[in-house]
Amino acid sequence: MFKIFLGSVVVASSIFAADLQTTGVEVILDNGKKATVKREAKPKECESVAFDPKDVFGGVHEAAPSVNENCKRSFVTYFGKISPIKAAENIETYGEVEVLEFIEKSKTDKNLLLIDSRTENWYNHETIATAINVPYVYTKKSQYPDEFQEALEIFGVEAKDGKYDFTNAKTLLMFCNGIWCGQSPEAMKELIAIGYPQEKMKWYRGGMQSWLSVGLTTVKP
């Protein structure tokens, strides 16, 4: 059984895409608490860090010793296969601003679902607010038939006699760990194989690594 982590509807406001980067998107989590998905405020002591390569990247791509410790972040690199910019011909690739817009729109449009395609251990560590965890392995009918059926129900797909009705299929925005992560591409591949309309799938290629790199809010389910 996989967990569902949904944001509830809050009063919608007319926010232009550019404003989302500064104001963020307010959501209500399943525990009833409010959260704002936004870029975290930069500590005062970090405002004076110059965009000079010798300051930002000192030594072997590390911040120079003169940079305040509160202004440094650690990132893990991974030697996985780099994904192409498009997962499939008719699947749109999203960046961070488009993800924020999607979250904003999903507050009033329940046909929009943000899908964390990673396995539960990754999801339970942290995820993007309002994301639903449907591990990519559960899109594999032959391996997980019960979970596959439950995933179809969440996605709004009706299955009968081995055929699928996508009339009420929801628009899915899928992501995983980063451009090197194969979990969301694998999920989309499996869905395409059963006929899920590509136009109803979107892909946040940068995933959690890109989301964290620009200081956007994450939550722990």
Domain span at 200:
1-39+82-221
Give residue 3's pLDDT band: very low, low, confident or very high (50, 70, 90).
very low
**Pair (133, 195) in one structural domain:** yes
State the DSSP string of 133-180.
E--GGGG-TTT-HHHHHHHHHHHT-EEETTEEE-TTPPEEEEE-S-TT
CATH of the domain at 154: 3.40.250.10
The tens digit of pLDDT for each residue in 160-218 reads 888 999 999 999 999 999 999 999 999 999 999 999 999 999 999 999 999 999 989 99
Q: Is the pLDDT of residue 8 over 60?
A: no
Listed ranges 6-15, 52-61, 138-147; the one with the highest mean pLDDT: 138-147
**Pair (137, 217) in one structural domain:** yes
Average pLDDT over residues 95-115: 97
**Pair (175, 201) in one structural domain:** yes
Tally of domains within the chain:
2
What global pTM score does this model have?
0.83
pLDDT at 42: 73
